[in-house]
Amino acid sequence: MKKEVQVHSLFSDFDISLFKAGKHYRLYEKFGAHIMEVNSEKGVYFAVWAPTAKSVSVIGDFNYWLEGEHPLNVRWDESGIWEGFIPGVEKGAKYKYKIQSNNNDMNLEKADPYALKCEHPPNTASIVWDLDYKWKDKKYISKRKDINGLDKPYSIYEVHLSSWRKNMDEHRSLTYSEMADELVSYVKEMEFTHVEFMPIMEYPYDPSWGYQLTGYFAPTSRFGTPQEFMELMDAFHKAGIGVILDWVPSHFPEDKHGLGMFDGSHLYEHPDPRKGYHPDWKSLIFNYGRNEVRSFLISNAIFWLDKYHVDGLRVDAVASMLYLDYSREDGEWEPNEHGGRENLDAISFVRDLNTEVYRSFEGVQTIAEESTSFPMVSKPVDLGGLGFGMKWMMGWMHDTLEYFKKDPIYRQHHHNDISFSMTYTFTENFALPLSHDEVVYGKKSLLGRMPGDEWQRFANLRLLYSYMYTHPGAKLLFMGAEIGQYEEWNYNTSLDWHLLEHEPHQGIKKALTDLNKLYKSRPALHEKQFSAEGFEWIAYDDSQNSVLSYLRKGNDPKDTLVIVCNFTPTVLKDYSLGLPSKGKLKEVFNSDDKKYWGSGMRNKPVKIEKNSFHGKDYSAKISIPPLGTVVFEIL
């Protein structure tokens, strides 16, 4: 029996004023489908923003998908919000909005922008759901401020959930519940401090890797329910591991059921294609100058931190947001009101986003994937910055990988490429990324980039990781890097876990595990990782030997570590090294250790003599292994 839509609203006048001003950051509490009881009847309240619509109906499996059976009521306040309570609709019901536009008589079927659950792609309906769950991570959340601070270790394992590991018997990806066991225990075993998921918000097209979203408030149904994703979050927190989500406020796809032309008008996207269409990704760009869109996006960021207890957001493609001429030729973009190329609306949006995130949640971080020299990305908003906690160090990534591709015999002529990063590393709070983008589209795997014979390739890879982990800044490695994948990443298949049957790959995994332990346990490597006070060159100019040597320092001077990297296969014995104080040098890590499939060249404790060298008052003679990094403490 048909039940009429009843007039009901979750919006107060204050909600509406905030929404129109672009300052409502909890819209998920108002919009969408909310299971509730009204006038002693159980059902669902629906609310959607469609200001140019002539009519909006809810269609679903509860009314045979018939338009007009359950028409929503438009609010009187010109907010453009359509709403109403439908008795009898239950959790699990499938639905969409049927929208007739005033603009062009378009008849549209749209998924709910605020849906908490979506059908498994390629199906596109929204699903009535709730977020009822009893969290068990109160202890972790209470300590998160101390765990997640910028003076704490940030060793991030980047994961694409559907291709990390497959259930080979059933030829499918693991579920959220299975990952709560297998992925959590693996990340813990590898001693990473954080995991970062490539986008888990619902997306229609697998080859997009999740970067073309249609369900901004719904974890993808590919792996289970919202509650099962919460269980995965709980499991990571129980293990003491932070979770970072990739978040994509930069663009969205043109799929018919998505946000594009939502009510027959350019509602979420900018109406000017010079600002509203991305030529590289063939996708639509949000209108950052529209207040209601700003509220939508910031509410979405807050939603994941609030309802899913996420510990950080890595914001995708920030450079494409900041510049009006990004990936555009002359004549394809319009300067801002000051004649510049900066997108002033996007800059204002980003500052509002970060201000609200850090105001509302202790111990979380936002991380910008930003590839240009835009100033003060990771500086506070009140000092004129964009307000991110960290920024990806794309220059370091590019220069380092280009350097490592070169045959060691030529590296002496490119020594500046490997030392140059230290001229700017403290201008931002940098995270060093070796991400999924570096192992696709013919770039080769990290191991595949390395020159030399098989032994040298693995030694080079261990050297790369050792240099990365002793360089200032946070660390990020894409899955598969820890086992020495030969092949590029394929989103459609599992990692090549069978490689761990072989000693060289076991060695890479052990070395990386020990580097994570070193980074976590030694304050010198993380306490001042974003401060020039935490770094000092010993010698950056030994291009003849292709050697870098430097000090890393913690708050306590006794925590100082000495790092020496040899970027050639030549063994260097009796290498003189300038040092700041007397005592003894004791090895605490050596990438050439036999347990890592190295040659086994080690240093016994070395006495530091009162002989000046490298501009230091003291020095010692050490042995540097081929294509190796040695880390010493001073006793």
What residues act catalytically?
316, 369
Residue 626's Cβ-side half-sphere holds a number of Cα atoms within 13 Å equal to 16
The helix or strand, by DSSP H or E, that contains position 368, with its residue range, turns out to be strand 365-368
Query: For residue 186, what are its two tokens?
Result: 């693996």
Do the Cβ atoms of 296 and 267 come closer than 8 Å? no
With left for phi above 0 and alpha for psi between -120 and 50, is residue 525 left, alpha or beta? alpha
| Buried residues in 59-77 as b, exposed as e (16+ CB within 10 A) | bbebbeeebebbbbbbeee
56 forms beta bridges with 99
**CA–CA gap between residue 214 and residue 206 (Å, rounded):** 13
Query: For residue 21, what are its two tokens?
Result: 């001003």
Nearest Cα residue to 337 out of 327, 347, 326: 347
**CA–CA gap between residue 116 and residue 125 (Å, rounded):** 11
Pseudo-torsion of CA 226, 228, 229, 230, nearest 10°?
Answer: 90
Q: Is 423 exposed, middle or buried (0-12, 13-18, 19+ CB in 10 A)?
A: exposed
SS (H, E, C) 466-493: HHHHHCCCEEEEECCHHHCCCCCCCCCC
Dihedral (CA of 454, 456, 459, 463) sign: negative
Work out the widest C-alpha separation in the chain, in whole angstroms. Answer: 94
Q: Is 208 exposed, middle or buried (0-12, 13-18, 19+ CB in 10 A)?
A: middle
**DSSP letters along 152-184, please?**
S--EEEEE-HHHH-EETTTTEEPPHHHHHHHHH
Query: For residue 345, what are its two tokens?
Result: 């609306």
Dihedral (CA of 458, 461, 467, 470) sign: negative
- Binning the chain into helix, strand and coil, the percentages to the nearest 5 are 30, 25, 45
